[in-house]
């Protein structure tokens, strides 16, 4: 008579055990892939954000480098007023100034060309072809607006030594965020020019 052995070793899995193990493995693998994809997406967004910040920082530094040595005694001419779709004044797209009195110091110009997305510095307005591009839009970083406006003293008169600048840029959707939630940079700063 054969008695059943209670301590008999099993050498395999039942079909039910195998199906449960495959389902659990599939869920773990799927969760891992989702985490990997989300990590890659966030990494791409981080790179796009960093590139946009770097581009705006570069434009800001170059604009400051052009304005700071200018002479506040010469005054600033603001031109090409800019308004939004509702007619709200946003500033001027062009300023004209000099490093010192004429004729020793030519009139210089700093402007934003909205059609091309370029910030252009002209060191001598009386000469053609000497312009320097301080920054421009690319497929990944788009300069939407660079504007200038005068500062006012406490008594309400213009402060010719202080020029305000605003830069608005975005990543043109390169971060992969669903539009209109692309990375945006809105930066405003003031530049004090030298006094004689």
Tell which wins on pLDDT, 123 or 37.
123
Report how far residue 90's alpha carbon sits from residue 192's, in angstroms, rounded to the nearest whole number. Answer: 20
Question: What are phi and psi for residue 106, nearest 5 degrees?
Answer: -70, 160
pLDDT of 59 over the 90 cut: yes
In this prediction, residues 122-136 reach a mean pLDDT of 91
Domain ranges of the chain: 39-192
Percent of the chain as helix, strand, coil, to the nearest 5: 30, 35, 35
**Residue 19 parent element (H or E):** helix 15-67
Nearest Cα to Cα of residue 59 among 2, 12, 110: 110
The mean per-residue pLDDT over the stretch 59-65 comes to 94
Q: Do you find a cis peptide bond into 132, omega within 30 degrees of 0?
A: no
Give the pLDDT confidence of 103-118 residue by residue, as tens digits.
Answer: 888 889 999 999 999 9
pLDDT at 70: 85
């Amino acid at each position: 008579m054969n008695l059943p052995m209670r301590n008999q070793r099993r050498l395999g899995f039942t079909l039910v055990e195998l199906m449960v193990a495959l389902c659990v493995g599939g869920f773990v693998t799927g969760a891992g892939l989702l985490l990997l994809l989300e990590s890659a997406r966030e990494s791409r967004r981080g790179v796009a954000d960093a590139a946009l910040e770097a581009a705006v920082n570069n434009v800001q530094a170059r604009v400051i480098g052009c304005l700071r040595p200018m002479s506040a005694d010469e005054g600033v001419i603001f031109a090409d007023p800019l308004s939004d779709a509702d007619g709200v004044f946003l500033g001027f797209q062009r300023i004209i100034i000099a490093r010192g009195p004429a004729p020793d110091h030519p009139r210089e110009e700093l402007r934003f060309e909205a059609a091309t997305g370029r910030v252009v510095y002209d060191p001598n307005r009386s000469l053609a072809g000497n312009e320097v591009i301080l920054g421009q839009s690319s497929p990944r970083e788009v300069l939407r607006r660079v504007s200038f406006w005068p500062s006012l003293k406490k008594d309400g008169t213009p402060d010719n030594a202080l020029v305000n600048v605003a830069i608005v840029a975005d990543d043109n959707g390169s971060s992969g965020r669903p539009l209109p939630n692309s990375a945006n940079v809105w930066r405003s700063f003031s530049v004090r020019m030298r006094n004689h």
